[in-house]
Amino acid sequence: MLFKIVPVAGMNLLITSVVALVLSFSIPAMAQAEDSGNEDKSDWDVSLGLGLAAGPVYEGSTHYQASPIPVVAVTWRDTVSLGIDGLSLYHKSGGFRYGAGLTYDPGRKENGKNLLGMSSSDHRLAGLGDIKAAMGLKAFASYDVHPFQHIPLVVLDASATKLIGGSTNDGVLVQGGLSMPFQLGQDWRLTPKVGTTWANDHYMQDYFGVTPEQAARSRFSAYKAKAGMKDASVGLNVTYSIGKNWFVSGDGRVKRLLSDAASSPISATNINAGIVTLVGYHF
């Protein structure tokens, strides 16, 4: 379940994956147990919350921003979801879950401002121009290895997203990940995760390349970014269930840029970190 209106462009994937992880694995265990035996369970599943995210102004920046984030996840009959990742239609069969949907990418502002209008002290992007916001078409799949009733031993996930942003932000992203949720008692859940992202040449050039025209207006030399592995990440999520419906979650991620993204003159650093904390209520 998931959706996204992400205030800080450099944290898009972090926030999306955190909210997805929390809402997929971290609904209070007591509620899960009750739902599994309730034949009159509602067709609707709703989670609401509020969080705070801190991360780089853009991928490769050494400057960080903090911003509030809404947590909204609505699911109907476990087949249609609206949340911080977009609108999705999916099907579940055993441990498999696959589907497609619409997502959103806010692009990138050369002045470092986020969607809330908050300014940044990082002005390295001046002269590069803005990357337009874009809708995305996404296909995804995951597989849960379920040795127990409610807790998967391992979760494998993959997705492919085609952004549709016109002259800019029209690239393709392919992501893969592996997570291992551990239930510690009745209330605590610990979930380490690793992931990686491949991007096509359009995406890499939009976010990490520098055209001759941009070079003439900015501090950077012209740079051609080609398709390849964009990043690899490792993270840890800790979630605590408060009673039947409330939960608190914290998530930390470290991401390393790879290939042409790491070599780009736009990237002041190849390593970025991000933190998301949130409080939510599951209806």
Going by C-alpha positions, the residue among 137, 208, 139 that lies closest to residue 168 is 208
Beta bridge partners of 134: 105
Burial class (CB in 10 A: 0-12, 13-18, 19+), 228: middle
pLDDT tens for the chain, 283 residues long, are 333 333 344 455 555 555 666 556 555 444 454 454 455 678 998 999 998 989 898 999 999 988 888 888 899 998 999 987 789 999 999 889 999 999 988 888 888 665 555 556 678 899 999 998 899 999 999 999 876 667 788 999 999 999 997 677 789 999 999 999 998 988 999 999 999 999 999 999 999 999 999 999 999 999 999 999 999 999 999 999 998 899 999 999 999 999 999 999 999 999 999 999 999 998 8
Structure-token pair, residue 241: 């269930």
The kind and range of the H/E element at 159 are strand 154-164
**DSSP assignment of 31-73:** HHHHHHT-TT--SEEEEEEEEEEEEESSTT-S-EEEEEEEEEE
9-282: which CATH topology? Porin (2.40.160)
CB 27 within 8 A of CB 19: no
At a CB cut-off of 8 Å and minimum separation 6, what does 122 contact? 57, 58, 61, 62, 63, 112
pLDDT value for 146: 79
- 3-state secondary structure (DSSP) of residue 184: strand
pLDDT, tens only, 27-69: 544 445 445 445 567 899 899 999 898 989 899 999 998 888 8
Indicate the domain borders of the chain: 9-282
Task: Report the length, in residues, of the chain.
Answer: 283
Residue type, 8: V
At a CB cut-off of 8 Å and minimum separation 6, what does 213 contact? none
Does the reported pTM lie above 0.75?
Answer: yes
pLDDT, tens only, 241-280: 998 899 999 999 999 999 999 999 999 999 999 999 999 9
